[in-house]
Amino acid sequence: MHAAGLDYIEAQLVPMQLEDDACFAQAKACVRDLPLPALAMSYLFPHDFRLVGDAVDDTRNRAYFDRVVEILALAGARIVVLGSGWTRNVPEGWTHDRAEDQFLAALSWCADALHGSGTTLVIEPLNRKESNFCNSVADGVRLARRLGRSEVRGLADFYHMHEENEPLQALGAQGGWLAHIHLADAGRLNPGTGRGAAAYDYESFFRHLKAGGYAGLLSCECGVQGEPVAAMQRSLSFLNQYWR
């Protein structure tokens, strides 16, 4: 990514295995020595964590997130992404309203932990194949508004919007409540690789995003087609062209 001329990396937290003391120490050393700043971090909670349902372990969740906050501070990260659909899936027999209350309670203690850090937690809407809770940009922003904390905002992911056939007008409608963007193209590959009718409509996506006043980071969360450095350079050129 450094060789390709990109500005920053969006690092993944789960592979750092932060609950293990030795891995936590190694992660702290690594984020201090990256050739690119890790301005965003995602893949937040491990697969056996739950924020919703009857298996929530609040003590473990909070202790883990405290370690995440240390990593974010060392990296100087501006954004941490809460996707992790498995943590928020509403179990069978559990009401959606009860799940939402639990999720908002978790967002509240996350906001407390991030207060004054300069890092914003963003709620990532996921398509229905990946989660049964918060599946649209509008819903993610609604949750952030309901919480009403400056440390929590919404995210728009072009791939998930495309999978859900969500109108791109939602980007402009959410105004200042969007704090981060995830990008991809057809087949969840790097931007600019889509062809014909399958290609993602970047002209419209960026037009609506700019209409809402967005001025934050743009991360590519995708696979890479072809030789990585050249592919990323082509995508960077493509994105700069359409953003202008």
Per-residue pLDDT tens digits of the chain, which is 244 residues long: 999 999 999 999 999 999 999 999 999 999 988 999 999 999 999 999 999 999 999 999 999 999 999 999 999 999 999 999 999 999 999 999 999 999 999 999 999 999 999 999 999 999 999 999 999 999 999 999 999 999 999 999 999 999 999 999 999 999 789 999 999 999 999 999 999 999 999 999 999 999 999 999 999 999 999 999 999 999 999 999 999 9
Query: What does the pLDDT read at residue 32?
Result: 87
Q: Which two tokens stand for residue 156?
A: 């728009």
179 membership: H or E segment, kind and range: strand 178-183
Query: For 203, what's the count of Cα atoms within 13 Å in the CB-facing half-sphere?
Result: 1
Helices (H) and strands (E) in the chain, counts: 9, 7
Query: What does the pLDDT read at residue 175?
Result: 77
Report the alpha-carbon distance of residue 49 to residue 40 in Å, rounded: 21
pTM across the whole model = 0.97
Cβ-proximal residues to 28 (8 Å cutoff; 6+ apart), any chain: 70, 71, 74
**119: nearest Cα among 64, 70, 48:** 70
Answer yes or no: are the C-beta atoms of 119 and 78 closer than 8 Å.
yes
Query: For 59, what's the count of Cα atoms within 13 Å in the CB-facing half-sphere?
Result: 0
Where do the H-state alpha helices sit in the chain? 21-31, 58-75, 85-88, 96-114, 137-147, 158-163, 169-173, 202-211, 228-243
Which domains are delineated in the chain?
10-243 (3.20.20.150)
